[in-house]
Amino acid sequence: MGAVQRFIRVLFLAAVGMVIAPAGAQVWAQDYPTRPITILVGLAPGGVTDVMARLYAQKVSAILGQSVIVENRPVASGAVAAAALQKAEPDGYMLLVFSGAQHATVPAMSDTAIYDPVKGAEPIGVIFNFAGAVAVPADSPAKTIADLVALSKSKPDGLNFGSPGVGTPSHLSAAKLIAATGMKAQFIHYKGGAPMMTDLVAGRLDVAWPSAPASRAFLEAGKIKALAIDGDRRWKLVPQVPTLKEAGFGDVGVANWFAVAAAPGTPRPVITKLSNAFADAGRDPDLLRRVEEQGLTVATSSPAELGQAMSKEAADIRALISKLNLRQQK
C-alpha cells in the first residue's frame, strides 16, 4: 500500500471514529448506571450537607434504579473529598455534594490547594439553598440589625461575633455585614457550630450567624432570637423576622446554594441524565417537606447555570479572602 493510500485510509478511519464515538457514548449513557453511585460529602455525618445528600441519594436511587451511597470524608474542610472527585474516573459513578461558598473558599485561602474549585468538577446542578440567621442571646437588647450596630458602638471593644471557623461561609458573611454596617466587632472563632451555639445561648457571645438547622431548636425554646434571616424568603418558624434583603442588606451573604457535581470530563449524556434525576428528586413531595422543615429550600439549575455560578463564586471569594487578609491562615 502506497503512502497516498495509507493516508487516505487513516483519514477514513478517523472519520468513522468521529461518527461512531458519539453514538457509542449515547448508548453507554442510556445504560448508565449499571453499578452503585457514590456521593462524596466532605463534612462530618449529621450536618446539613450530609443530611441533604442522604435525602437526595434515596430519591435519586429510586429514579435511576441503582444504589446511591453517601461516603463522608470530613477532612480539611471538604478539600479531600473535592480532590478525590477531581481525580476520579469521568464515568458518573463518583459525585460530590458541596457548598458553593465553602468549595470556593478552601483553595482561595491557600497557595497549596489540592483541587481547582471550577476545573476540578463537572457541574450537574444546584439542589438546595441554605438559610442562616443573624442571631443574638435571648436577653440581648438588640431587636434589629440597626440596634445591633448601635449596641456595638456603645461598647469599648465592640461585640464578640461568633464564627464556626475561619473562612467558613458564616464567617465570611459576617465579615461582609460588619463592613457594610460599620459595626464594631471582633471575631471569636470556634472549631464548629456546636460550641459556638453553646456560648451564644449562654450569653458569652453577643452575636453569631448559625445555620437554620443549627439554630432551630434554640429559637423554638426561646434561648436565642433572630434579627434577620439569610435566605431567599422568611422562615416559617419566625415569620416576623425579615430577610437580610428586606432589612436592606441583600448583598451581604456569600453563596447560599449547595450543588452536586461529577468528575471533570464526565460525558455530557451522563451529566444530563444525572441533572434530570436530581431535578426530579427535588419535585418529590416528601423531599420538599423534609427540606423545608430544616429551614432550607429546594432549588434547581442546569449544568451550565451551575458552572457559571461556580466561576462567579470562585472569583468573588478570592477577592473577599484577599480583602480580609485570610490567605494561608489556618
Measuring CA to CA, which residue among 269, 235, 277 is closest to residue 21?
269
- d(CA 189, CA 191) in angstroms, rounded, equals 7
Find the mean pLDDT for residues 1-10: 48
CATH among 3.20.20.80, 3.40.190.10, 3.40.640.10, 3.40.50.2300 for 132-230: 3.40.190.10
Residue labelled with grid coordinates 449499571: 34
Provide the terminal-to-terminal Cα distance of the chain, rounded to the nearest Å.
66
Helices (H), the chain: 3-31, 48-64, 79-87, 100-108, 145-154, 169-181, 193-202, 212-220, 268-281, 285-293, 303-323
* Beta-bridge partner residues of 226: 135
The confidence band for 23, taking pLDDT boundaries of 50, 70 and 90, is very low
pLDDT value at 26 more than 70: no
Rg (CA), the chain: 23
- d(CA 304, CA 125) in angstroms, rounded, equals 8
**In the chain, where are the structural domains located?**
35-129+256-323, 132-230
Q: Is there a contact between 126 and 301 (Cβ–Cβ < 8 Å)?
A: yes
Lowest-confidence pick of 27-36, 39-48, 253-262, 275-284: 27-36
- d(CA 301, CA 257) in angstroms, rounded, equals 11
pLDDT value at 16 more than 60: no
* Beta-bridge partner residues of 126: 259
- d(CA 138, CA 306) in angstroms, rounded, equals 39
- d(CA 261, CA 274) in angstroms, rounded, equals 9
Dihedral sign from CA coordinates of 163, 164, 167, 172: negative
138 CB burial (10 A radius; 0-12, 13-18, 19+): middle
Angle at 270 between CA 15 and CA 316, to 5 degrees: 110
CA 54 to chain centre: 15
Express each pLDDT in 128-170 by its tens digit.
998 889 999 999 999 999 999 999 999 999 999 999 888 888 9
Residue 117 has which C-alpha cell?
474549585
- d(CA 177, CA 162) in angstroms, rounded, equals 13
CATH number, domain 35-129+256-323: 3.40.190.150
Find the mean pLDDT for residues 298-317: 96
